[in-house]
Amino acid sequence: MKRAIEQIALAGLVLAGMLHSSPAKADKFYDTCMKHSDGSNPSWGKCGQDLVDREEQKLNAAWKKLNAGLTGQTKIDLLAEQRLWNAYKESSCLFHANGDYGREGQVIDFPTCRAAVIAARTKELEAIDKEIN
């Protein structure tokens, strides 16, 4: 368990470094939403929240697919890992939302960062599913 926690922490640090050094990539729906927005913070915030919601739906689908095929100790271990990852996710990217970077940090940078964190985990879960199922 300690090893899993260390690996998750390391992955989080690597991901945080990648997110900090390069802009998050959003999907075409986000880009369209932003393009057609009225340019206000509430409008941008809705585009960002919709992006996060889409990534959450993909994550949940990947987890359900993976979890359905798990048994034994692997099921126990991956559930524990996912719970730890959820705690990490809820703490990720908050520096964008703390107000130091203004409203743009809150309505643009935060949701794109959080969506990238979720997308990375989805990709990881899909790779695990391919490997073991």
Amino acid at 108: I
The 10s digit of each residue's pLDDT in 29-51 is 999 999 999 999 999 999 999 99
Confidence of residue 67 (pLDDT cuts 50, 70, 90): very high
Domain count within the chain: 1
pLDDT of amino acid 1: 55
What pTM did the predictor assign?
A: 0.81
Are 133 and 66 in contact by the 8 Å Cβ rule? The answer is yes
Query: Which residues are within 8 A (CB) of 101 and not within 5 positions of it... i.e. 6 or more apart?
Result: 95, 109
Half-sphere exposure of 117 (CA within 13 A, CB side): 26
What range defines the domain where residue 112 resides? 2-132
Confidence of residue 26 (pLDDT cuts 50, 70, 90): confident
Using the predicted structure, report yes or no on whether residue 111 has a pLDDT greater than 50: yes
